[in-house]
DNA sequence: CCCGTTGGCCAACGCTTGTTGACACCGTAG
DNA sequence: CTACGGTGTCAACAAGCGTTGGCCAACGGG
């Protein structure tokens, strides 16, 4: 039906009154998807959180899938590693990953993708996209042998996503307790090794 | 059919004719839960896979939640680490974890718990149980300072579950490609360090 | 042979879901 | 004042869900 979902008003268009509603729906959707996963986050509940009618969700985003796509369409803003000393890559990457989930919105997106990516094909596809388009390129610049970049990037992702999983989603208590400094101290050497070690 | 997982009839009770049906339902349930997660794995679909009526599921397991509980009630059979040389703990633990998902049934249970634990409270609770009752005790025996055992066990879990996540659930291609030997070579030093390093 | 027990099917219930189309409000332009 | 496009509500839909209770078919000990 309406294909206007993914088109943000370009510069110059007046701030429509409905932009606030759109934003409210998106915020509510991210929270619900992050808390409940795709299936249990109902359109009705999201609409209630945003204090509007469920029909508005369909008007603005076409369908529940469209809403999810819009809710997780954010740039991770991964840092450029070109000017990072090779020896500091571990600390920098782990630190940046932790920064991600200190931003309320990005943590919501990350948690939502973790929760949804695990049960919903579209969610899993979106995570593969992010891995391919945003994580792999970084590895390609940092890793000694480019042919090894995919494997090394996958290993790094497994550790970082594993931490997000145990901490944000499964809420293993000792994982939740860990402070930022401890996490960096423990994980940075691991990530560093996955990226730069000449052999396992 | 496969081995009856949950509660083998104790000595003396005759092999009932319905035990086969029970087992078929459990096997189908594990497959569906592993493939689709809790909500999308419908009782009707499971019943169809097992070639019985949905009502049978309720007769045997009381409810969908009861079915799930029965489907994931298995012992991980983690090895006793008392007689493992401290220096080999990394390789042994990673190797055993990989063994887990080479057994068809256990891989099903693991994948099901990952998929369900992420959206379903009961699933998350079950994973916390396993962590507390089966993983933590191992750490307590292997770690230098017992006070650090929970944190170290959580770190180990984050790496192992992260690998399972990227490989079995999200199916990041480079992660899927990794061979068993490569995984052990890369992950064992990480796990070893999380357990025995005196400081990060 | 009879009849209670066991294993199984069927049709239906009450409920929630995503989605839709008709209708009401509002502010501005003509 | 009227007309109208942008906002928003309401009631209803069909589909799918977990769950229930009644009925049927085979079996096996008396």
- Region B128-139 average pLDDT: 91
Q: Which pLDDT value is given to residue A46?
A: 98
Provide mean pLDDT across the span A14-38: 90
Tell me if B186 is assigned to some domain.
yes
Average pLDDT of every residue of chain B: 89
Q: Among all protein residues, pick the one whose CA is nearest to the C1' atom of D27.
A: B17
> Both A115 and A177 in a single domain?
yes
Q: Please tell me whether residues B65 and B164 are part of one structural domain.
A: no
Question: Where in the sequence is the domain holding A190, given as residue range(s)?
Answer: 86-196
Q: pLDDT tens digit string along A118-151?
A: 999 889 999 999 999 988 998 998 888 999 999 9
Q: Give the number of other Cβ atoms within 10 Å of residue B183's Cβ.
A: 20
B14, part of any domain: no
Question: Which chain A residue shows the shortest CA-CA distance from B148?
Answer: A174
Count of beta carbons in the 10 Å neighbourhood of residue B176: 12
As a whole-number percent, the residues of chain B with pLDDT over 70 amount to 91
What pLDDT shows up at residue B13?
54
In the predicted model, is pLDDT for residue A15 greater than 50? yes
Same domain, A26 and A96: no
CATH code of residue A28:
1.10.10.60
The answer, yes or no, to whether residue A4 has pLDDT greater than 90, is no
Verify that B140 and B46 share a domain, yes or no: no
Q: Within this chain, do residues B33 and B123 fall inside the same structural domain, yes or no?
A: no
**Domain end (from A23, A41, A71):** A71
Q: What is the DSSP letter of A197?
A: -
Do B62 and B148 share a domain, yes or no? no
Q: CB-hemisphere CA count at 13 Å for A8?
A: 5
Residue B113 and residue B192 in one domain: yes
Q: What is the pLDDT of residue A6?
A: 37
pLDDT of residue B163: 98
Task: Look at residues A29, A45, A71 and tell me which one is the last residue of a structural domain.
Answer: A71
**How many Å from the N-terminal Cα to the C-terminal Cα in chain A?**
52
Task: Report the pLDDT value the prediction gives residue A19, as an integer from 0 to 100.
Answer: 86
Phi and psi of A114, rounded to 5°? Answer: -60, -50
Judge if A48 and A91 occupy the same domain. no
φ, ψ of residue B50 in degrees (nearest 5): -85, 0
| Per-residue pLDDT at B5 exceeds 90 | no
pLDDT digits (tens, 9 = 90+) for A84-103: 898 999 999 999 999 998 99
The answer to the question of residue A176 being in a domain is: yes
Q: Between A94 and B12, where is the model more confident?
A: A94
* Interval A23-42 mean pLDDT: 96
> What is the predicted pLDDT for the residue at B15?
62
Domain finish residue from A46, A71, A96:
A71
Question: Does B173 contact chain A (CB < 8 Å)?
Answer: yes
Q: Are B114 and B165 in contact (CB under 8 A)?
A: yes
Mean per-residue pLDDT, A109-117: 94
DSSP collapsed to 3 states, B11-35: CCCCCCCCHHHHHHHHHHHHHHHHH
In a domain, residue B13? The reply is no
Task: Work out the minimum CA distance from B55 to partner chain A, whole angstroms.
Answer: 24
Same domain? A9 vs A107: no
Name the nearest CA neighbour of A111 among B38, B195, B118, B41. Answer: B118
Query: Do B200 and A194 count as a contact with CB atoms less than 8 A apart?
Result: no
Does residue B3 fall inside a structural domain? Answer: no
Q: Are residues B119 and B183 in the same domain?
A: yes
Confidence of residue B71 (pLDDT cuts 50, 70, 90): very high
- Strand D close to A24 by CB, under 7 A: no
Pair B92, B176 in one domain? yes
Q: Tell me which of B12 and B87 has the higher pLDDT.
A: B87
Q: List pLDDT tens digits, range B146-179.
A: 999 999 999 999 999 999 999 999 999 999 999 9
H helix or E strand, kind and range, residue A55: helix A54-61
Judge whether B163 is closer than 8 Å to chain A, CB to CB: yes
B83 contacts B139 by C-beta, under 8 angstroms: no
Alpha carbon A67 to chain centroid, angstroms: 16
Does a structural domain hold residue B4? no
Compute the average pLDDT of residues B65-72: 96
Which residues in B lie closer than 8 A to residue A124 (C-beta atoms)?
A: 169-171
pLDDT of residue A75: 82
A165 touches A97 (CB < 8 A): no
Decide if B78 is inside a domain.
no
Phi, psi of B93 (to 5 degrees): -70, -45
**Residue B166, domain member (yes or no):** yes
Do B127 and B51 lie in a common domain? no
Number of domains in chain A: 2
What nucleotide is nearest B53 when CA is compared to C1'?
C9
The C-alpha atoms of residue B42 and residue B44 are separated, in whole angstroms, by 5
CA gap A50, A67 in Å, rounded: 13
Structure tokens at A26: 């998106």
**Among candidates A35, A112, A41, which has minimal Cα distance to A71?**
A112
Helix (H) or strand (E) holding B170: none
């Amino acid at each position: 039906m309406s294909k206007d979902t993914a088109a943000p008003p370009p510069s110059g268009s007046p701030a429509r009154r409905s932009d606030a509603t759109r934003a409210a729906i998106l915020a509510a959707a991210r929270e619900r998807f992050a808390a409940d996963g795709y299936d249990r986050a109902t359109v009705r509940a999201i609409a209630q959180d945003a204090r509007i009618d469920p029909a508005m969700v369909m008007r603005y985003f076409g369908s529940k899938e469209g809403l999810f796509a819009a809710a997780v369409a954010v740039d991770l803003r991964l840092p450029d590693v070109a000017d990072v000393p090779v020896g500091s890559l571990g600390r920098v990457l782990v630190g940046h990953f932790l920064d991600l989930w200190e931003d309320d919105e990005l943590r919501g997106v990350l948690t939502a993708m973790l929760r949804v990516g695990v049960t919903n094909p579209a969610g899993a596809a979106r995570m593969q996209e992010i891995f391919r388009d945003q994580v792999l390129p970084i590895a390609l610049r940092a890793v000694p042998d480019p042919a090894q970049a995919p494997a090394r990037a996958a290993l790094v992702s497994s550790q970082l996503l594993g931490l997000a999983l145990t901490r944000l989603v499964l809420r293993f208590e000792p994982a939740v307790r860990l402070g930022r400094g401890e996490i960096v101290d423990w994980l940075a050497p691991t990530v560093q090794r996955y990226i730069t070690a000449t052999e396992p």
